[in-house]
Structure 1
Amino acid sequence: MNRRFALRRMGAAVSALCLSLGVAAGVQAQEDPVRLGAIYIMSGTPAVYGEFARQGMEIAVDEINEGGGILGRDVEFLLEDSQIKADAAIQAARKLVYQEQVDGLMGLDSSGVATGVVPVVPELQRPFLITHAATPDVTGKLCNRYTYRLSVNISQNTKAAAEIAAETGAKRWTTLGPDYAFGHQSWEFFGDYLQELDSEVELMENTAFPRFGNEDFTPFINNVMDAEPDGVLVSLWGGDLVNFIRQANNLGFFEQDFEVLMTLGGATEVLSALGEQMPEGVWVGTRYWFDAHDNPMNDHLVRTHMERYGAPPSYNAAGAYAGIHAYKAAMEKAGTTDPEAVTDALSGLTFQAPNGELTLREGDHQAVVGPTWGVTSAVSEEYGVRMLDPMRTFDGELVTPDVADTGCNL
């Protein structure tokens, strides 16, 4: 064999090897999973919210992977603890992006945490889909290109609450809510909407804002009862709401001659914890109610959640479940998992969620979605919680403010 022929054969072999390695690398790249980073409360008393989110994501990931994944690739999620602290959530987001190389971010349970995290999101150059935190600011004055929310916000929920409150005829209203953005904004938006509906309504100065995580609500309950209002908006949530209701029962709060509206009293975790202790005949709201939506996706979620976890899905489970499906829809719309392309694809995206078909508005990236409110009735033997009867699911178009009124300037 002459030297020129030998070199030619060696070159061909090297080329073939490189081509083979290139194809193998390409196949491997195609087989790498789509990675989504999630940040929820995973420690302390409110850790149940993170567990519920995990349950929703697990169901969504399993069914998507069984159906062929996203763009032919399996999907997986990585879950980090927000610790209900903005700095911890920011650190978690940076870890997920820079170390774990996730394709997108989702989560956040606290409005206070969300207002700290959202301004940092553009630095990460990843879409961030909020599935729980309700402050209007994140799709309002703090809005940015990368941040979206698929869940009901304070403005949407309190507009529905104001409509119910106006129908009761109660004129003098006060509130009892957590002493941070969620509680104060709930009262502010509720009051504005209610006075638009009834100019004779009085918003009392005697209000109660215990710190989040407070254990003794007795002085606040007594303060509200002593004020003798016609109506009380309660925006406590989670363990705080459970503790409040137990103490309020002991003090005769629900036997007083005033209307009570609990903005998140319809959360299944609250109803499950209280059982018969949840008073009957009280108006309660929730961002998602498992028995309010007649569609195949919701039927599947409720059935699967009952089979796996022995309870109906909470709104946090439904929100996290919807978040995974929203990313699937956006990535398939974009034809890629590239974060910039997916960010663009989320804008104006219409996708199927357990609570119906949702659209993420182009102008502020808020989902056009309405809450469910209902009156607590008998405990269901099947689900183990008080059901809502009567029940009203509000039209998102009617309770979502115009983009021009949100303060968002994208």
Structure 2
Amino acid sequence: MMAVVAGWALAQKGEVVKVVRIDPLTGLLGPVGVNQDKSYKYFAEKFSGAGNPAGVKFEFETIDNKLSPAESLNALKAAIDKGVRYIAQGNGSSVALALVDAVNKHNERNPGKEVLYLNDSAVDPDLTNSKCSYWHFRFDADTSMKIEAMSSYIKDSLPDVKKVFLLNQNYSHGHQVAKYAKEALKRKRPDIQIVGEDLHPLAQVRDFAPYIAKIKASGADMVITGNWGSDLALLVKAANEGGYTGKFFTYYTGVTGTPTALGKNGEGRVYQVAYGHYNMGGQAQKWLDEFKAKYNDDMYTLAIPRIFEMLGAAMAKAKSTDPVKVAQAMEGLKVNTFNGEIEMRKTDHQLQQPLYITVWQKADAKNPYSPENTGMTLVPVKEYPNYVSSTPTGCQMKRPG
């Protein structure tokens, strides 16, 4: 037995590393999880063997958590019981916060069986501040970073915006979007008036017409929302049907369902802040086109290839697949990826990366990729490099030993 364990700890060519993602595959937000499940499988194959410097083989599966923190904890236990050491998750910061706490406790109680948690989409800043953990690494940009870029763009490029309505999902992520948006706009555009603020239940609202009526009555010329999945798709559908002609500033316009809900509407009025977009060019574009040909679907979670790039590089550096050693190797690690050099900040395990502002426009020769075959696309209008999009952290990390 000792010989097997010792051999396992050396990252060898052909060694299998299993990654399990805990996320919804059913319910209103299921389509997002299904898309990302395909993306993980696609990139696990791409980055296996000769696709990573450690030569390991990645295997992947998703456990459906129905977007429930309680179900997620059951899924985590099931994965750990099967010997899985690498967990991924992204949809829902409430789930992320529950998983961080559970992974911390498990690792403290089970030395030698530690688990690493790879966060591809949960953006609550607390995850790399007051709740930061040695065992958690975030590959998306957090809300403080996204709002920093968003508010800079509003300040520099949208002087006509005077009245803003904040509409968000009623859980930790939605609360943080509203909080950081108010702080940043007060600092950068004190002339902007917040004319309304609303929180609605996560993945439960099927008709946003009453919210649109409220937004129109407020006189808002822009809505800022962190909504995702059906909660954004149904919101923009209601805005189209209700004749709201103001601007939207979003995180997730490009995500499953929303491009179709927008259709030809919203041209030049709907913005997105993100760490990637549909017209990146180069390697990312090749992946997007190949994914669409393979799955007849649009790949938008570009954090996923970064997870595999970082894991492969860290395992090669550590000469091991042991999560303790891999975590240590990933701290401060720099990797050249599809849009330049990115760095996993050692202080808080928050990936430092560029951010892009894009706007919904007709697809053309320069920006040809059309999500959900709408004839429309997200056109980049501003890029903020790593050092601009970075925000400070208050993380006081406890490291093993």
Q: Work out whether the TM-score is over 0.5.
A: yes
Q: 1:336 to 1:320 in 2, by over 3 A?
A: same
Shift of 1:189: 0.6
1:376 aligned residue: 360
C-alpha distance 338-235 of structure 1, shift in aligned 2 (>3 A): closer
Equivalent in the alignment of 2:83: 101
Q: Which residue of 1 is the match for residue 145 of structure 2?
A: 156
Q: Which has the higher strand share?
A: 2
Against the structure 1 CA distance between its residues 143 and 390, is the aligned structure 2 distance closer, same or farther, given a 3 Å change threshold? Answer: closer
Match of 1:235 in 2: 226
- Is residue 246 of structure 2 the alignment partner of residue 269 of structure 1? no
CA distance in structure 1 between the partners assigned to 2:192 and 2:259 by the alignment = 34
Q: Shift of residue 229 of structure 1?
A: 2.6
Amino acid at match of 2:28: T
Distance 1:117 1:276, change over 3 A: same
221, 231, 248: which one pairs with 1:260?
A: 248
Query: How many Å separate the matches in 2 of 1:389 and 1:89?
Result: 36
Give 1:268 shift.
Answer: 4.0
Deviation at 1:291, TM superposition (A): 3.8
How far, CA to CA, are the matches of 2:64 and 2:38 in structure 1?
A: 15
SS in 2 for 1:207: strand
In the alignment of these two chains, the number of paired residues is 376
1:42 partner letter = L
Choose 1 or 2 for highest CA Rg. 1
Query: Over residues 373-399 of structure 1, what are the superposed CA-to-partner deviations in whole Å (9 max), with x where a residue is unaligned?
Result: 222111467532422335223223212
What corresponds to 2:48 in structure 1?
65
Structure 2 Cα separation of the partners of residues 113 and 295 of structure 1: 34
Q: Deviations over 1:226-256 (max 9, x none)?
A: 11134321222211111111111111112xx
CA RMSD of the aligned region, Å?
Answer: 2.6
What are the superposed Cα offsets for residues 99-150 of structure 1, whole Å, 9 maximum, x if unpaired? 2212322222111111222122222421211001111111111001111101
Aligned equivalent of 1:191: 182
Q: Contact (CA 8 Å) 1:284, 1:375: kept in 2 or not? A: yes
Q: Distance in 1 between matches of 2:194 and 2:238?
A: 25
SS in 2 for 1:402: coil
User: When the two structures are superposed, what TM-score results if normalisation uses the length of structure 1?
Assistant: 0.84
Partner of 2:288: 302
Task: Report the 3-state secondary structure (helix = DSSP H, G, I; strand = E; otherwise coil) of the residue aligned with 1:175.
Answer: strand
Query: Secondary structure of the residue that 1:188 maps to in structure 2?
Result: helix
Residues 68, 373 of structure 1: alpha-carbon distance in 2 compared, 3 angstrom cutoff? closer
Unpaired stretches in structure 1, ≥5 consecutive residues = 1-21
Q: Secondary structure at the match of 2:27?
A: coil
State the SS of the aligned residue for 2:102.
Answer: helix
**1:288 shift after superposition:** 4.2
CA deviation after TM superposition for structure 1 residue 74, in Å: 2.2
Distance in 1 between residues matched to 2:46 and 2:351, nearest whole Å = 24
Deviation at 1:363, TM superposition (A): 0.5
Q: Residue 68 of structure 2 aligns with which residue? A: 85
Matched, 1:113 2:95: yes
Q: Does 2:21 align with 1:38?
A: yes
Q: Please identify, of 273-282 and 112-121, the stretch whose mean Cα deviation from structure 2 is larger.
A: 273-282
2:120 aligned with 1:131, yes or no? Answer: yes
Which residue, 320, 327, 331 being the options, matches 2:304? 320
